[in-house]
A and B are shown apart, each in its own frame.
Chain A
Amino acid sequence: MAETGSNRAPETGAFFQRDRQWHPPALTPSYKSSVLRSPQKALVSFDNTLSESTGPVFGHAMLGELDNDLIHNFARPGESAIGERIIVHGRVLDERGKGVPGVLLEFWQANAGGRYRHKKDAYLAPLDPNFGGCGRAITREDGGYTFRTIRPGPYPWPNGPNDWRPAHIHFSVFGHGFAQRLITQMYFEGDPLIWRCPIVGGISNKAAIEALIAALDMQSTIPMDARAYKFDIVLRGRRSTLFENRPEGN
């Protein structure tokens, strides 16, 4: 079995079912590109097999020194990205409230003006020569993670005639089982664009939307350097294996 970078015994149970009323449905017509990319037939359900309850784990050795510092990981020596300097921190938990150690988090975002470093982004706001927009981290023993970046700007997108994405950071998260795989977006407390966005609005439950809004966290700022936002991520919990009908270890 693979190492998790944790002293805990590995867990092997199946994951709690996903609440698909809580997640956005596949078809959310106000977000136009979902119309032709949403399955129309029902998903076929089954309880996790080993193919879903197992998953890849990545060691800390893969990380470079600046992987969690977007202000500097693309910048020329001695320079840094332009924008509001922030720290984003939080914990990856599972639905039982337990921290999930040793999981890979990857994040990506636009620069301070809302421009992505991607050849398909034709927005007229300029690129920042010192900002790439990608970073990654592996959670600590308590599930905690931290990275440093600049606050991304909102940007317009060709959906409705005048749609603007709220400032956001994309997150990709692995758990310990492939069934926990999740991609989501983090928004910023107080941004009035959140409640006008068709991508956010695909989520029907207000509490679910609020679960994606990072809180300004003045206790974690570095005075005269960077403000901080706290963003916790919750992955599917696991059942206990005590009464599982599965032959293993034999």
Chain B
Amino acid sequence: MAQPLDRLKESPSQTAGPYVHIGLTPNFCGIGGVYASDLGSSMVNDQTKGERIELRIRVLDGTGTPLREALVEIWQADAQGLYNSPAEMRGAADPNFLGWGRQPTDMETGVCLFQTIKPGRVPFRDGRLMAPHITLWIAARGINVGLHTRLYFSDEERANAEDPILARIEHRLRVPTLIAERRGDTYVFDIHLQGEKETVFFDS
């Protein structure tokens, strides 16, 4: 017998359930007066540097029906490609941009909207630049472990073509599932949880 490694096991995930709004967006579901505002509902202010964009996201189940009780969180770099995080050692990120946002999908339409900025490019582990992207994390009833994916931008064709993560996707037909389509200042992104158009989800 060798020495034990003495590591703990990560707490197992459980679904966020249908009432996730109570905890994470209480004002959205009518529980007022506990928090001044829902955390992550506003990402930019007048001083935030960068190009203003809107993300219009839906999450669809295996029948193509939009989820109307899902929660979407995003995490992204600032316009210079710096993360507002203690683990960011390359420099100070824009102090007017936390880089994190949270929105529920609309209870009628299933659409969720983020007002944010287009992120700068961030280096991959070997120093090559990744294409501009936003990390997404999706929780909902029926989802046992939060799903991790990325949103890339349709008007960044050259950067997307050299992105080391997109290059990891063996089935090239699936790459477009990660690319949001630009319409004016809005990027439209449908996440398919299951089926033919299934979005690529990551384990990282």
Shortest A48–chain B CB gap in Å is 6
For the complex, give the distance between the alpha carbons of A96 and B7 in Å.
5
Q: Is A37 within 8 A of B31, CB to CB?
A: no
Chain A positions within 8 Å of B39 at CB level:
58, 62, 106
For the complex, give the distance between the alpha carbons of A39 and B67 in Å.
14
Please pick, from B20, B73, B146, the residue contacting A170 in the complex, using a CB distance under 8 A.
B20
Q: Is B87 an interface residue (CB 8 A)?
A: yes
Q: Is B24 within 8 A of A120, CB to CB?
A: no
Q: Is A107 an interface residue (CB 8 A)?
A: yes
Chain A positions within 8 Å of B34 at CB level:
64, 66-67, 73-74, 132, 134
Consensus secondary structure, chain B interface? loop
How many A-B pairs have beta carbons closer than 8 Å: the answer is 292
Among B29, B126, B145, B165, the one with the most A-chain Cβ atoms within 10 Å of its Cβ is B145
Q: Is A178 within 8 A of B122, CB to CB?
A: no
For the complex, give the distance between the alpha carbons of A203 and B11 in Å.
11
Q: Is A26 within 8 A of B11, CB to CB?
A: no
Among A48, A178, A235, the one with the most B-chain Cβ atoms within 10 Å of its Cβ is A178
Q: Is A130 an interface residue (CB 8 A)?
A: no
Q: Is B58 an interface residue (CB 8 A)?
A: no
Q: Is B203 within 8 A of A44, CB to CB?
A: yes
Q: Is A50 within 8 A of B122, CB to CB?
A: yes
For the complex, give the distance between the alpha carbons of A245 and B123 in Å.
12
Q: Is B16 an interface residue (CB 8 A)?
A: yes
For the complex, give the distance between the alpha carbons of A26 and B84 in Å.
31
Q: Which 3 A-B pairs have the closest CB atoms?
A: A108-B23, A33-B142, A54-B85
* Residues of chain A having any CB pair with chain B under 8 Å: 1-4, 10-12, 16-20, 22-26, 28, 31, 33-41, 43-58, 62, 64, 66-67, 73-74, 93-97, 106-109, 116-121, 132-134, 136, 170, 172, 176-179, 181-185, 199-200, 202-203, 207-209, 211-212, 233-237, 244-249
Jot down 25 A-B pairs with beta carbons below 8 A, ordered by A.
Answer: A1-B88, A1-B89, A1-B93, A4-B86, A20-B203, A23-B10, A24-B145, A36-B63, A39-B193, A45-B202, A45-B204, A51-B83, A51-B135, A55-B87, A67-B34, A108-B20, A132-B31, A172-B16, A178-B137, A184-B12, A185-B14, A200-B14, A202-B144, A235-B10, A247-B123
